[in-house]
């Protein structure tokens, strides 16, 4: 699975985004490992949930609420075409993006 769609949409909306992935099993590619059971996946999933909780708690503690967000200006260079050269129909479609560029 990828997070490409989520990352792209967050970029367009100028929302900060991070992803954390924790593996539950390796049987789909490792020829020397036995097939995985539902019980084994659930055990690893529970362990991963604890790991995710600890990682997130640590990350939140390290956040600096006074640091400005890098995401607010994510779209500054998203549209390089001068606004005067954008067709009206395209301008309407891109209104949210173009509006954010007008600061």
pLDDT of residue 60: 92
Q: Return d(Cα 60, Cα 52) in angstroms, integer.
A: 12
- What is this structure's pTM? 0.58
Q: Are 47 and 53 spatial neighbours (Cβ–Cβ below 8 Å)?
A: no
pLDDT, tens digit, 9 for 90 and up, residues 10-39? 887 778 888 898 988 766 677 777 778 889
pLDDT at 28: 66
Residue 92 has pLDDT above 60, yes or no: yes
The answer to whether residues 75 and 14 touch, using CB atoms and an 8 Å cutoff, is yes
In the prediction, which pLDDT does 1 show? 62
Residue 93 tokens read as 């479609």
- Average of per-residue pLDDT across 83-89: 91
Query: Residues 54-79: pLDDT tens digits?
Result: 999 999 999 888 888 777 777 777 77
Supply the residues annotated as catalytic.
25, 27
pLDDT of residue 101: 46
Using DSSP, state whether 29 is helix, strand or coil.
coil
Q: Which residue has the higher pLDDT, 64 or 51?
A: 51
């Amino acid at each position: 699975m990828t997070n490409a769609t989520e990352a792209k949409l967050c970029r367009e909306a100028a929302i900060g985004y991070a992803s954390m992935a924790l593996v539950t099993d390796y049987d789909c590619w490792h020829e020397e490992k036995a097939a995985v059971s539902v019980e084994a996946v659930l055990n690893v999933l529970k362990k991963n949930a604890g790991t995710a909780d600890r990682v997130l708690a640590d990350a939140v503690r390290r956040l600096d609420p006074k640091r400005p967000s890098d995401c607010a200006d994510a779209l500054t260079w998203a549209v390089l075409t001068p606004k005067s050269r954008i067709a009206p129909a395209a301008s309407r479609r891109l209104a949210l993006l173009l509006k954010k560029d007008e600061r």
